[in-house]
Amino acid sequence: MVILAADECLSPVSFIRAGGSEVALMTDRGETSRVEKESNQDRAATGVLVTSEGVKIDVDVVCDGIGGVDGGDRAAQLFCEAVKTIIEEGVFSARNTDFPKNFIHAVLTSALESYRRGELPVDAGTTFVMTLTLPDQVYVFHLGDSRGIVMTPDGEVLWETQDQVFPEPAYSHGRVGAVRSLSQIEDLRTLLNVHTISRLEHPELIILLATDGITENCQQSEDDSDGCIREVKKLVSDLLTRDDLSSVSLCVALMAQVRAHISSASVAALAEQFTYFNPDNTTVVVRVLRSLPS
C-alpha cells in the first residue's frame, strides 16, 4: 500500500490497477487568512488487498487530521498505517458476507491501539472516507466530514456522504466526528457510516474521495449545498465531451477548480465575513472504473 502525505501529491500521482481500474491522488494546501497554509494534515493512500481466495480488492482512503501538526498529522498517518497493516497481515475471505465489516473493524481497532501507544494529544484525531472495490461491489466507509461521491459517467449520483455531527465530548472536534482514542471500539462501530454500490448494476463508476475542502472550494455561497456535486458533474461531462475522462484528468480539473476558487475575489470577500469560507486544504482520490473485471 502506498501512503502519501498531502505535500507528496501536489501534482497528480496515479496508479493503474488490473481489471479496468485506475486511481489518482492530488492535493492543494489551501490558505489561512489569505496566506498559503504551512502544513497540511491530510493523508491519501491506495493499495490492494488479496483475499484468501486470491481475489484482488482495491482499497482507497483519504484522511483529514484534526489537532494540528503534532496531533492531526500523526493521527491521519497512523490511521493510514493501520489500513496498510491490515491489508498486509489480515486474512479475509471474499466469500464471507461480513468481510467488509470485519475489515473496517480490524482497521479501527489497529488505529486506536496505535493512538494509545503513540500518546496522541487528547484533541487529536482524524476523519476519513474509504472504499473497498470488489469485482461485484463497492463498499464505502465514512466518519466525520470528509467527502465521498460515487456516480456514473452520465452524471447519476449513486451515493454521497452527509456530514456527521456528534455530541461533545467523546466523538468530536467542534461538531466534526473523528477517530480518536476512544476506550470502547464499539462506539466507533456504531457511529460508522457504511454504504454498498453494486457493480453488476453499474459496471462503470467514478469514485471521488476528498477532504472537506472540496465542499468549501466548490460552493459559491454559504447555502450552496449542491455546489460540489454540480461542479463534479460539469467537469465529468466536459471531460467526456473531449474524450479525456481519466482519474488523472478529473483530479487535475478538480484541483484547478479548487485553486480558482481559493484565489477568487468573491471568496476573499466572503472569507472576511464567514470563517466557513477560509479556503481549506483539499486532497482528492479519484478512481475510474471502466468495466467489470473478467
Domain residues for 272? 2-289
Percent of the residues in the chain that have a pLDDT greater than 90, as a whole number: 26
Q: Are 57 and 287 in contact (CB under 8 A)?
A: no
Query: What would the mean pLDDT of 53-63 be, rounded to a whole number?
Result: 92
How far is Cα 28 from Cα 259, in angstroms, rounded to an integer?
Answer: 8
Is the pLDDT assigned to residue 109 strictly greater than 60? yes
Torsion 80-86-92-96 (CA) sign: negative
| pLDDT tens sequence across 134-190 | 989 999 998 878 889 999 999 999 998 877 655 444 444 443 445 554 334 445 666
Is position 85 within any domain?
yes
The strand pairing partners of 56, in sequence order, are: 50
Give me the pLDDT at residue 59, please: 94
CA 279 to chain centre: 18
Give me the pLDDT at residue 212, please: 77
Query: What would the mean pLDDT of 202-222 be, rounded to a whole number?
Result: 80
How far is Cα 75 from Cα 59, in angstroms, rounded to an integer?
Answer: 19
CA 59 to chain centre: 11
Q: Report the chain's mean pLDDT, rounded to a whole number.
A: 78
Give me the pLDDT at residue 277, please: 47
Which of residues 84 and 290 earns the better pLDDT score? 84
Burial of 154 (0-12, 13-18, 19+ CB in 10 A): exposed
Give me the pLDDT at residue 168, please: 47
By C-alpha distance, which of 178, 190, 187 is closest to 75?
178
Residue 71: what residue type? G
The least confident of 243-247, 251-255, 263-267 is 263-267
For β-strands 205-210 and 282-289, DSSP reports them as antiparallel
How far is Cα 74 from Cα 66, in angstroms, rounded to an integer?
Answer: 9
Is position 49 within any domain?
yes
Query: What would the mean pLDDT of 13-28 be, rounded to a whole number?
Result: 76
Q: Name the phi and psi angles at 265, rounded to 5.
A: -65, -35
Give me the pLDDT at residue 36, please: 45
Query: What would the mean pLDDT of 202-223 be, rounded to a whole number?
Result: 79
Scanning the chain, the segments in alpha helix (DSSP H) are 72-89, 99-118, 185-191, 213-216, 227-241, 247-263, 265-273
Is the pLDDT assigned to residue 63 strictly greater than 80? yes
Categorize the per-residue pLDDT at 7 as very low, low, confident or very high, splitting at 50, 70 and 90.
low
Q: Are 204 and 246 in contact (CB under 8 A)?
A: no
Is position 87 within any domain?
yes
Contacts of 25 (CB under 8 A, 6+ apart): 4, 9, 12, 13, 14, 44, 46, 251, 283, 284, 285, 286
Strand, coil or helix: what is 231?
helix
Q: How many CB atoms lie within 10 A of CB 119?
A: 9
Is position 50 within any domain?
yes
Which of residues 20 and 50 earns the better pLDDT score? 50
Residue 31: what residue type? E
Strands of 186-227, DSSP E: 193-198, 205-210
Is the peptide bond preceding residue 169 cis, with omega within 30 degrees of 0? Answer: yes
Is position 294 within any domain?
no
Give me the pLDDT at residue 197, please: 94
- CATH number for the domain spanning 161: value is 3.60.40.10
Is position 139 within any domain?
yes
How far is Cα 33 from Cα 90, in angstroms, rounded to an integer?
Answer: 44
| pLDDT tens sequence across 258-294 | 777 666 555 555 555 544 444 557 888 999 998 766 5
Look at the chain and report how many structural domains it folds into.
1
Which of residues 22 and 177 earns the better pLDDT score? 22
By C-alpha distance, which of 25, 13, 62 is closest to 41?
62
pTM, full prediction: 0.84
Categorize the per-residue pLDDT at 232 as very low, low, confident or very high, splitting at 50, 70 and 90.
confident
